[in-house]
Chains A and B, each alone.
Chain A
Amino acid sequence: DIQMTQSPSSLSASVGDSVTITCRASQGIRNDLAWFQQIPGKAPKSLIYAASSLQNGVPSKFSGSGSGTYFTLTISSLQPEDFATYYCQQYNAFPHTFGRGTKLELK
């Protein structure tokens, strides 16, 4: 199975800040990488797919990059609604595996 190592596990930031979350795959996955946002009690919401493509309707403050084994998600100009948990997921091979999540908290 492909292991996804996501860091940090938690992150404190202020409104207006920019943050970056990283995700490493245990083997090359080309760009078959997605990022999801999850608010407590809600279903995950797709943000980014193919490492850097923005899901329809997602604001451009979210951006992704990377290929192979190293990927990043950057969120700029944080707003209160952005404080949530973020997950990376590889869909290159079954089982589709997730990172353990990054909880973004308000400082």
Chain B
Amino acid sequence: EVQLVESEGRWIRPGGSLRLSCAVSGFTFRSFSMNWFRQAPGKGLEWVSYISDSGRTTYYADSVKGRFIISRDNAKSSLFLQMSSLRAEDSAVYYCARAVVVSYSSGERSDYWGQGSLVLVSS
């Protein structure tokens, strides 16, 4: 069974840093790209960051570029999101999700998602 489990969220002051993790099981982690998404309270879904299976390719939403870093440890089947210079607008539930290639010429869709980790940035 595919499982993705994010670390517990927490409350943090503006300007602070936090590292989220996502432990996966039930599939060969090193063979799949991964995404982070987030959802602010009462709002819609927002893609945050992508990392390829090898970790060599990463992408970021403009809203987090330069502040967040995505990484992975394939030996430990774990995905990470290092968040720094946190702002109130970063408050959200953060989800990790597996990315799957649909076909040779298509993009990678997100199929399995974790249960989410709530991050609250407030003074």
Contact = CB atoms under 8 A, between A and B. Distances in A.
A97 B61 CA distance: 10
Contacts of A61: none
Interface string A88-107: 01011111111111000000
A49 interface: yes
A50 B47 contact: no
Interface in A53-96: 53, 55, 87, 89, 91-96
A21 interface: no
A28 interface: no
A50 B102 contact: yes
A105 B44 CA distance: 17
Nearest to B45: A98
B28 interface: no
Contact of A94 (B44, B46, B50, B111): B50
Nearest to A98: B45
Contact of A32 (B45, B107, B116): B107
A99 B114 CA distance: 21
Contacts of A8: none
26 contacts: A30-B105, A31-B106, A32-B106, A32-B107, A32-B109, A44-B37, A46-B111, A49-B102, A49-B111, A50-B103, A50-B109, A53-B102, A87-B44, A89-B45, A89-B47, A89-B110, A91-B108, A92-B107, A93-B107, A94-B47, A94-B59, A95-B47, A95-B61, A98-B47, A99-B44, A100-B44
Given A44-B45, A92-B106, 5 more contacts: A46-B113, A50-B106, A53-B102, A94-B50, A100-B44
Interface of A: 30-32, 34, 36, 38, 42-46, 49-50, 53, 55, 87, 89, 91-101
- Nearest 9 pairs of A and B residues by beta carbon: A91-B107, A96-B47, A43-B113, A32-B107, A98-B45, A49-B109, A94-B59, A91-B109, A101-B44
